[in-house]
Chains A and B, each alone.
Chain A
Amino acid sequence: MSTIVEVKDLVKYYGKGENIVKAVDHTSLKVERGTFTAVVGRSGSGKSTLLQLMGGLDRPDSGEVIIDGTSIYTLNSNDLTVFRRRKIGFIFQDYNLIPSLNVWENVVLPLGLDGRKTDEKEIEKILDEIGLSDKKHAMPDTLSGGQKQRVAIGRALASYPSVILADEPTGNLDSRTELEVLAVLKRCVADFNSTIVMITHNETIAQMADAVMVIEDGKVVR
């Protein structure tokens, strides 16, 4: 297996002097292609910041993030955006769907922004995979939490990215739905050969991943 994500000596501090918060503190890690990796840490351990830096949503103070051979912080803002929409998929804890778009439109959104034509069969396949084929015209506010998160997964999968970064994807869900969503994620790894990096504070959930990393005080400790 080859490395798809490599984080090298990444640093991100907030504040100054006595108030300095070392959100990510000289952290390095590697993620292998086609794996489901969980990064576990307590609240405030810096796991969300790490994920945002890995996804190019924020800029580090120093260090490097290499995705599929590209050091993403060498790209200018516009190129980074284009890179992000082609190579990285995101799943957020609070779903972050666009409320004025229906399920189908939310899923095809990254493709539209990239100017790519929608392959309707592929999208139907994804909707089948996430179990929302019958809900494609539904508006997000009519869906349950689990369904919303499955739409978010569909959106992350639509552009067949190199890596999907999931930030506490089950944090807002009850335990039954939590398992349902995790099952979908695992299936996606197998069926679409996706690479998923999932942030969670729940060690039990983390155990469902192929690999588990633990983060404490901004550093990956194991």
Chain B
Amino acid sequence: MHMLRRIIFANVRYHKRKNVLTGFAMILTTMLLFLVPSVGYDLIEGQKAAVNMVYPKWFGMFYDVTEETAAKIEAHHMTEKCGLVADVGGFKTEDGSCSFIYTDRNGFDLYNMKVVSGKFPEAENEIMVAEDMLKAMGSTAGPGDSIEFCEQAAAENIPTRFTVSGIYAPAAEGAGKADACLVSKAFLEKVKGDAAYNLLFRLNMDPGNGEDNTDRIKQNIKLLADTFGIKEKDILINESYIWANYEDPTIKMTIIVIMTVIVLIGAVTLYGIYYISVGERIREIGKLKAVGATTGQLKKMLLGEGMLTAALAIPLGLVIGTLFVRVILELIMKVGLKDGVLDNAIRAAFSAGEVTMYRPLLYIITVVASLITVLLSLLRPMKTLAGISETEAMRYSESTAKKAYKKGFKSLSVFKLTLVHLVENKRKNLITIISMGLTALLFMVAATVFSSSDPVEAANEGFMGEYEVKAVIAHNDESRPEREWRLVQRNDPLNEELKRELMNISGIQRVEEVHGQFAKCERFDGDMLGISGVSEEYADVLIKGIREGHVTYEELKSGDKVIAEKNMLVWYPGLKLGDVLDVEIDNGDEIISKKIEIAAIGDYSLGFAHNKYLFMAEEAVDRLSNYSTVTDLNVYADEKYDPETESAIKALCKEEAGLRAYAWQDEYEQWKYGISVVRAGSYAFLAVLGAICIMNIINTMVSSVNSRRKEFGILRAVGMSEGQLFRMMFAESLFYTVGIVLIAVGLGSFVGYLAFLWARDAGVFNLRKFIFPGNEMILMIAVLIALQFVITLVLNRSLGKESVIDRVRFNN
């Protein structure tokens, strides 16, 4: 065998303890490097698979398209598949509504449906019925059977009796219910004449040309619309499906940032171990140099030792990571997901094996990242090693004090002996403290965000009362024309009658109106944004929320000035204080143009803002409509939550009536659940990072004890008791705790506060109030002290197995 390789193998065996510790650190680093992207991508893929099951597969829909235009669009090179859909009409049933829809086969496929039995309708009186609908009707009709709908419910021009041509259902199990009747083209033509269609389409993607990302797809949909003169109001983008199927660059970036943190912490830990190792081995290195080893060979030796350990540790880390991916995902399936349609679809996707749980590319990336970690950690020790001269190294004694004279103490004690040792080894100790301190800092940052995140506060942030009733409002959504804002203003379901009925529900104290309008502006990228009309009662809250600029409530009554919510400036970066916006507002009869000035920037809770970005006085908003401007009702109740009150409100406020009711309790449960899942995941991640750093502490302490075995023997010989020795070792280890806590609490509190500010501004967990993570800090300190105590105890016991004289005789 080549001599260098022989030395490397021999050294790996000889320096077993150090290599076991570096091995453990590498295993944990590799495991984390593999777990983070694997679990991340698995969950995203699971969610995407679920979205593919539940959501239709089209990218976009153009409303009001003639057959001729549809044929041209289908022939266009940008489209991959097009389908036609037309709404024929419908009727109300006891449980909801049933619509008659025409769709061609492509449209049917793009809606993610499958034929269960029979065939597509062809004759005028043929319909294809949804399986779920038949079940709901209690009908056993099959293909060829006739079916009759409730006569009085049917629309005037739709017959009540049909022949079932076939039965259809959603293509994927776990998807939502289908409840439309599909009619033939002949029927459509008879009822609607020359009907206008809605055109569903998918685009041809060119991944090599960077066209497979969400932003590019949206751009291309708009480009296609422009080509065929389709107006912006006639475009509907299937956002959920596009998100689910095409790459979102922010996800990749988040995973890269987390992996970089792991690599850095892993590298600092390993560096700490190698740094101490080189210090311990200077004499050995000197001997090798003296017998002819070149600097290059010595560097290769150290690199070889690291790589040999990595060659054993990285595969082990990958194996453990591979096993844990399944365990973590099963845990998430079991406790992390609830019972919603999408959650069930995610479970179904995993159990059907539709998610690629293990990706070869991630294995490769993990191995490369782990090797980079090892390499980074070895760079500096290799440089140090190259700088050692033969004579220096041969004479070197690890315990040699660097100074010739020292003032020292007049008298000694165990504590003073501890101080002497710590000062002598300050660099070694500093590396250990920094390595562990970084993780402790991350812990404090996470703990700050989590301790400030209170599900009660988060829910309060989103609610003004205990319940909220909203009018369902649509803007240019032809699938729900009755919910257009103009019609809602004219016939507002949030009327006096509803308020009276709400007040009649037992436990309701007060119902408060929230007024609002909607404005369209080019500066909002064409989006329709809500203007909240704040009542006199909340004028104080409105003015106190101002962060920039100045405006009075009186001035806001003019209707020419608004306060903009600070997040609006994030979503629409071109906007700034003082800008005058040209907006278009539908007053219920016509579109009016108006100029409004952003007079101030404010910061308001979600409950106060009611999803609106602009704020005026209530009377100003009222003047912007010829009808009602009530968009929401805040409902205040005696108790925070009462199931009877909730069900009474929800029974009163049904979707069909154009209303949606929300309960504070639902919001609270959602936050409680979400925060606890994220908290558990983050702490688990930090616990593994902490375990990596613990290897460094163990190494520092073990090597410190090993290099001082003789010294401990001498101290015992001249009268240090076992108890004093333990106290000295424990005091030394407590020094690490103090250093780590100083970094974590000092720097960690500061960075944690910055993280809190960022999270609050970004709307993470609806944070409002900063709460210092005192309990978490005490827990962290307790864990560190307990850990140091156990390590010291184990080391002390191992020392105790040797007699004093053996220790005195010990030669480094």
Residues of B within 8 A of A104 (CB): 408, 410
- Bound-state Cα–Cα, A99 to B719, Å: 17
Interfacial residues of chain A within 79-98, with CB under 8 A of chain B in the complex: 81-82, 84-86, 90, 92, 96-98
B320 at interface, CB cutoff 8 A:
no
Of the stretches B171-179, B350-358, B416-424, B427-435, the one at the interface is: B416-424
Interface pair B412/A109, CB less than 8 Å apart = yes
B722 within 8 Å of A (CB atoms): yes
**Residues in B whose Cβ lies below 8 Å from that of A90:** 717-718
Q: Is B805 within 8 A of A84, CB to CB?
A: no
Contact A102 B719 (CB under 8 A): no
A54 to chain B, nearest CB (A): 12
How far is it, in angstroms, between the C-alpha of A100 and the C-alpha of B722 when the chains are bound?
A: 21
Instruction: Indicate whether A61 reaches chain B with its CB closer than 8 angstroms.
Output: no
* Contact in complex: A117, B411 (CB < 8 Å): yes
B711 beta carbon closer than 8 Å to chain A? yes
Closest chain A residue, CB of each to CB of B400:
A141
The 8 A CB mask of B709-726 against A (1 = contact, 0 = none) is: 011001111111111100
Q: Give the residue name and chain of the B residue nearest to A137 (CB).
A: B405
- Specify which chain B residues have a CB less than 8 angstroms from the CB of A109 in the assembled complex: 412, 715, 718
Does B719 contact A82, Cβ atoms closer than 8 Å?
yes
Residue-wise interface mask of A (182-219) relative to B, using a CB-CB cutoff of 8 A (1 in contact, 0 not): 00000000000000000000000000000000000000
B395 to chain A, nearest CB (A): 10
Q: Which residues of chain B from 1 to 47 have any CB-CB distance to chain A below 8 Å in the complex?
A: none
- Residues B401 and A141 in contact, CB atoms below 8 Å apart: yes
**Sample of 11 more A-B contacts, CB < 8 Å, known A85-B720, A105-B420, A113-B720:** A78-B723, A86-B719, A90-B717, A92-B808, A96-B714, A99-B401, A104-B410, A111-B412, A113-B715, A113-B718, A114-B719
Which of A92, A99, A155 has a CB less than 8 Å from the CB of B397?
A: A99
A159–B721 alpha-carbon span in the complex (Å):
16
Interface residues on A, range: 35 or more
Residue of B with least CB distance to A143: B404
Q: Does B413 contact A (CB under 8 A)?
A: yes
Q: Which of A78, A96, A112, A137 contacts B717 (CB 8 A)?
A: A96
Instruction: Tell whether, in the assembled complex, residue A110 and residue B718 are in contact, meaning their CB atoms are under 8 Å apart.
Output: yes
A59, A96, A110, A120: which contacts B808 (Cβ < 8 A)? A96
Measured CA separation A221–B805 after assembly (Å): 25
Q: Is there contact, CB below 8 Å, between A100 and B718?
A: no
A96 → chain B closest CB, angstroms: 4
Interface membership of B757, Cβ < 8 A: no
From A96, A102, A113, A120, give the contact of B414 (CB < 8 A): A113
> What 8 A-B pairs are tightest by C-beta distance, nearest first?
A85-B719, A112-B412, A118-B411, A81-B721, A102-B408, A57-B805, A96-B714, A113-B719
Chain A contacts of B397 at CB under 8 A?
A: 99, 141
Q: Which of B370-413 contact A (CB under 8 A)?
A: 397, 399-401, 403-413
Q: A85-B718, A141-B400, A155-B718 are in contact. Are A57 and B412 (CB under 8 A)?
A: no
Interface pair A81/B722, CB less than 8 Å apart: yes
Shortest distance from the beta carbon of B101 to any chain A beta carbon, whole Å: 87
| Cα A59 to Cα B802 with chains together (Å) | 12
Tell me the B residues contacting A by CB distance below 8 Å.
397, 399-401, 403-414, 416-417, 420-421, 424, 710-711, 714-724, 803-805, 808
Q: Find out whether the CB atom of A78 lies under 8 angstroms from the CB atom of B722.
A: yes
A159 to B808 Cα, complex, angstroms? 20
A: which residues have CB within 8 A of B? 52, 55, 57-59, 77-78, 81-82, 84-86, 90, 92, 96-102, 104-105, 108-115, 117-118, 120, 137-142, 155, 159
Other-chain contact of A137, B406, B414, B720, B721 (Cβ < 8 Å) = B406
| Complex CA–CA separation, A142 to B397 (angstroms) | 13
A58 touches B400 (CB 8 A): no
Expressed in whole angstroms, the Cα–Cα distance for A120 and B711 within the complex equals: 25
Q: Name B406's contact: one of A55, A84, A96, A139 (CB within 8 Å).
A: A139
Among B399, B400, B401, B416, point to the contact of A112 (Cβ < 8 A).
B416
Determine how close the nearest CB of chain B comes to the CB of A133; give it in whole angstroms: 14
Q: Smallest distance from the beta carbon of B469 to chain A beta carbons, Å? A: 75
Q: How far is the CA of A82 from the CA of B404 in the complex (A)?
A: 32
- Give the Cβ gap from B414 to chain A, nearest Cβ, in Å: 7
Can you sample 11 A-B contacts with CB below 8 Å? A57-B803, A57-B804, A81-B722, A98-B715, A99-B400, A100-B424, A101-B412, A108-B412, A113-B724, A138-B404, A142-B405
Which listed residue, A92, A110, A138, touches B719 by the CB 8 Å rule?
A110
Residue pair A105, B721 in contact (C-beta under 8 Å)? no
Q: Chain A residues near B405 (CB, 8 Å)?
A: 102, 137-139, 142
B404 & A105 in contact (Cβ 8 Å cutoff): no
Question: Which residues on the B side are within 8 Å of A58 (C-beta)?
Answer: 803-805
Pick the contact of B721 from A78, A110, A120 — CB < 8 Å? A78
Nearest residue (CB) in A for B806 is A58
Q: Which of A84, A101, A118, A138 is the most central at the interface, judged by chain B CB atoms within 10 Å of its CB?
A: A101
**Bound form: Cα–Cα A90–B721 in Å:** 16
Q: Roughly how many angstroms separate A109 CA and B414 CA in the complex, as a whole number?
A: 10
Q: Across the interface, do A100 and B412 meet the contact criterion of CB distance under 8 Å?
A: no
- Which residues does chain B contribute within 8 Å of A96, judged by CB atoms? 710, 714, 717, 808
Chain B residues near A55: list those with CB within 8 A.
Answer: 717
In the complex, the chain B residue whose C-beta lies closest to that of A107 is B412
A139 touches B404 (CB 8 A): yes
Using Cβ atoms and an 8 Å threshold, which residues of chain A touch B406? 102, 137, 139
CB distance from B265 to the nearest CB of A (A): 31
Residues of A within 8 A of B420 (CB): 100-101, 105
Q: How far is the CB of A98 from chain B (nearest CB, A)?
A: 6
**In the assembly, what is the distance between CA of A220 and CA of B441, in Å?**
65
- Cross-chain contact A112 with B413 (CB below 8 angstroms): yes
B407 contacts across to A, CB distance below 8 A? 102, 137
Cα A213 to Cα B414 in complex, Å, equals 39
Distance in angstroms between the alpha carbons of A58 and B717 in the assembled complex: 10
Please, which residue of chain A has its CB at the minimum distance from the CB of B402? A139
Residue of B399, B719, B721 with highest tally of chain A CB at under 10 A: B719
Q: Are A52 and B404 in contact (CB under 8 A)?
A: no
Distance between A56 CB and nearest chain B CB, rounded to angstroms:
8
Q: A159: shortest Cβ distance to chain B, in Å?
A: 8
Q: Are B399 and A81 in contact (CB under 8 A)?
A: no
B423 to chain A, nearest CB (A): 8
Q: In the complex, which residues of chain A have a beta carbon less than 8 angstroms from the beta carbon of B408?
A: 101-102, 104-105, 137
Rounded to whole Å, the gap between the CB of A150 and the closest CB of chain B is: 16
Chain A residue nearest to B710 (CB atoms) is: A96
Q: A120 to chain B: which residues have CB within 8 Å?
A: 410
Considering the chains assembled together, what is the distance between the CA atoms of A97 and B401 in angstroms? 12
The smallest beta-carbon distance between A91 and chain B, in angstroms, is 11
